[in-house]
Amino acid sequence: MNDLNSVSIVGRLTRDAELKSTGGSSVCKFSMASNRYKDETNYFDVQCWGKLAESLGQYLVKGKQVAVGGELRQERWQQDGQTRSRVVIVAGSVQLLGGKSESQDRPQGGSGTGW
Confidence of residue 98 (pLDDT cuts 50, 70, 90): confident
CA distances from 66 to 60, 69, 80, 91 (A): 8, 10, 36, 11
Task: Using pLDDT thresholds of 50, 70 and 90, give the confidence band for residue 102.
Answer: low
The domain containing residue 67 runs over which residues? 7-96
CATH of the domain at 14: 2.40.50.140
Task: Determine, yes or no, domain membership for 115.
Answer: no
Q: Tens digit of pLDDT for each residue in 12-69?
A: 999 999 999 888 899 999 999 999 887 899 999 999 999 999 999 889 999 999 999 9
In a domain, 2, yes or no: no
Name the domain count of the chain.
1
Tell me if 94 sits within 8 A of 52, measured CB to CB: yes
* 104 vs 81, residue with greater confidence: 81
